Structure 1
Amino acid sequence: MRQTVTPLLFILFFIPDTHAQLFDSKVYNVNPYIDGAITVGAAATNYWGMVIVDRKPPLDSAEIASLDANDINCFDRSATRQDADYIYRAWKISNVGMRGSFLLPALLMLDQDIRQDWAPLLLLFLQTEAVAGNLYSWGAAIHIDRIRPLVYHPDVVYEDKTFIRNKNSFYSGHASTSAAASFFVAKVYCDYHPELGNKKFIFYGLALIPPVFTGYYRYKGMKHFPTDIMTGVAVGAATGILVPRLHKHRKNKNLTLVPVTGRYAGLAMSLTF
């Protein structure tokens, strides 16, 4: 995630034809300077958060030897019993699933009305993923230690068990990233087509496919427990829906909501009388 946002932001803001009018949107209120600053700031804090995560000390041999899969709740325990010979392939597939999710917004360009608003939507998507990254790094990975399932498996090689991020099972950043992208696409499409009515839930149902696919292979690769994946999907889906929702044109323009990321994640609200 941290390697992806910065180059895209560079491309966006250094296109010669990019100017404020390009960010006029039929559906969303996007300020290229304010939202651009928020997105760049969020990308920076996410990067720093992952640097802190990587400073966690790896598991030592005594910690690994003391682990017992029977201490894990019965719902999650199956994650420790996957095929150790398949994990490397599963990791590759899950990486493809996550990285492929960054291409999902391109599907929106098939719609002529949406295609005209490509610039604000690109910025909103980058902001969505930056916020999702901060929620993962600052909201979970830095503060919560949960050992990955593979560490419990007797047939996984020792070197894989001492990887620096093996305390970051909770929650699945891959699933969250994928869900943020797919639910962003569903939310934007439905916002541009209010005539869909309750049919919009079909699109939200379809949006589950990419993160579930990615999460399944994180499970098969013994990177995450089922509850880690479910949490990641929920957080990513909420982010993918709420960031566009907070930018939507509204009748009460005196009310302002702005996503805030950094040491703590949340929303800043102001009401002008």
Structure 2
Amino acid sequence: MKRCQTLIILFFTFFFLKSINTAGQSGKDSTVYKINRKIEAPVTIGLFGASFLGFEYLRNKPRLEYSEVIQLSADDIWWFDRPATRQSVSFRHRAHDISDFFLNSSVILPGLLALDQKIRNDWLDLLILYGESHAINTDFYLLTASSVLRTRPFNYNPDVPVEDKLASETRNSFFSGHVSTAATASFFMAKVYSDYHPEIGNKKYLLFAAAVIPPALVGYYRFKAMKHFPTDILTGFVVGASAGILIPELHRIQRKNPKLSLIPFTGNYNGLRLSYVF
């Protein structure tokens, strides 16, 4: 996860350098989102700063004692989560590296939005918004992972070396920060593109369907690495997707015609008509 934070910062720099050449110095507000730059930019930086302290705390969480390790049994785990303890021990390190690759790829994926001229013109607001989405997701993950002592699946596998089970960060299973970060990035991309291009109509749901793929790949290999249970992965997906969608939505400038309207009508009957535009 710390590697992911570094990549996010590098992505911000890349986005800035690529965009400033075409966006100019107009400093205009976004055409789609309303951002208070003077407040939200420093708050986002502050949230990222808090995340580094959070990661340090996670590394110092209480480790498992040997007496606790030898008492762990997969039979005590809910049947839905139990398969996570029975993955290939020889493949788990490779699976871990693959999950990191897909995570890092997901984080830089929204850089493709810069190919769209309309979106590129609002580079600064989107830069802040993307950072804010990740910062909120990351701090929520850290708050949860710091509070919940859930042992990782590999601790239940008898073929995993005991020294691995006694290492640090073996009780950070809930929830998957890798998956939530990947979901934040991919759903942010789908949300922003669909907001800038309302003309695509219901085709936007194809974008959101495609946004499932990056966190699904990350989650699959976190599962194969015996780092997380399925419930950890599903929770991470929901949290990340929510951050990627809701943060932009809360900043979106509403259309002049309200979505919800109450219209009186007369004719054979008199009354009110309630309508909601999706």
Would you call these one fold, judging by a TM-score over 0.5?
yes
TM-score, normalised by the number of residues in structure 1: 0.85
Pick closer, same or farther for the CA change 1:8–1:196 going to 2, 3 Å.
closer
Amino acid of the residue matched to residue 37 of structure 2? P
Matches within 5 A, 1:1-273: 1-5=4-8, 21-22=26-27, 24-138=29-143, 140-250=144-254
Amino acid of the residue matched to residue 59 of structure 1? L
Contact 1:23-1:30 at 8 Å conserved across structures: no
**Cα offset for 1:27?**
0.4
Per-residue CA deviation, residues 210-230 of structure 1 (Å, 9 max, x unaligned), is 000000000000000011000
Pick closer, same or farther for the CA change 1:35–1:64 going to 2, 3 Å.
same
Pick closer, same or farther for the CA change 1:114–1:249 going to 2, 3 Å.
same
Amino acid of the residue matched to residue 27 of structure 1? V
**Aligned residue number for residue 260 of structure 2:** none
**Aligned residue number for residue 258 of structure 1:** none
Contact 1:23-1:119 at 8 Å conserved across structures: no
Contact 2:32-2:195 at 8 Å conserved across structures: yes
Contact 2:86-2:157 at 8 Å conserved across structures: yes
Gaps of 5+ in 2: 257-278
Contact 2:51-2:138 at 8 Å conserved across structures: yes
* Counterparts of 1:236 and 1:143, CA distance in 2: 18
Pick closer, same or farther for the CA change 1:16–1:185 going to 2, 3 Å.
closer
Amino acid of the residue matched to residue 216 of structure 1? Y
Amino acid of the residue matched to residue 112 of structure 1? Q
* Counterparts of 2:167 and 2:8, CA distance in 1: 25
* Counterparts of 2:26 and 2:165, CA distance in 1: 52
Contact 1:98-1:177 at 8 Å conserved across structures: yes
TM-score, normalised by the number of residues in structure 2: 0.84
Amino acid of the residue matched to residue 45 of structure 1? A
